[in-house]
């Protein structure tokens, strides 16, 4: 009888070891899958972050270019303004304005009517 009990116990232990080995293999497989998923997600996030940073750098460079263009446009506008408005001076009680090289003189001033 003890041989039969030993055989049953050995069979039970063998099946238990097989079940444990299968469970361990399942856990190892799941852990690998989870690790692979995490690595893939981290790669995706890193790629998106790199793309975002590149886009940000392009936009910042464009802003710098536009600011330089605006500065040049402002300088050109000031030059045109000085040419169009000319130089105004108040010598000897007269207002003298130079526009495009031609001088104009106003001898009398009047207040603007409201």
**pLDDT for the residue 3:** 85
Residues 107, 94 contacting (CB under 8 angstroms):
yes
- Of 65 and 101, the structure prediction assigns the larger pLDDT to 65
**What integer is the mean pLDDT of 58-73?**
96
Task: Answer positive or negative: Cα dihedral of 86, 90, 92, 94.
Answer: positive
What's the distance, Cα to Cα, between the start and end of the chain in Å? 127
Q: Is residue 111 helix, strand or coil? A: coil
**What integer is the mean pLDDT of 87-96?**
56
**What integer is the mean pLDDT of 64-85?**
85
- For residue 67, the 8-state DSSP code is H
Mean pLDDT of the chain, nearest integer: 84
pLDDT in tens, 16-62: 999 999 999 999 999 999 999 999 999 999 999 999 999 999 999 99
> For residue 105, what are the CA distances in angstroms to 83, 91, 98, 100, 109?
17, 10, 9, 14, 11
Q: How far apart are CA 83 and CA 100, in angstroms?
A: 6
Highest mean pLDDT among 18-32, 66-80, 93-107: 18-32
**pLDDT for the residue 2:** 85
Q: Is residue 100 helix, strand or coil? A: coil
pLDDT at 86 over 60: no
């Amino acid at each position: 009888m003890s041989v039969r009990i030993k055989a049953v116990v050995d069979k039970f232990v063998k099946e238990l070891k097989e079940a444990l080995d299968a469970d361990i293999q399942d856990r190892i497989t799941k852990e690998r899958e989870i690790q692979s998923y995490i690595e893939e997600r981290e790669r995706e996030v890193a790629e998106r972050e790199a793309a975002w940073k590149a886009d940000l750098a392009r936009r910042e460079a464009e802003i710098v270019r536009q600011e330089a263009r605006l500065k040049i446009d402002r300088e050109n506008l000031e030059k045109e303004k000085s040419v169009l408005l000319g130089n105004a001076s108040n010598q000897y009680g007269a207002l003298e304005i130079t526009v495009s090289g031609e001088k104009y003189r106003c001898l009398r001033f009047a207040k603007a009517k409201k």
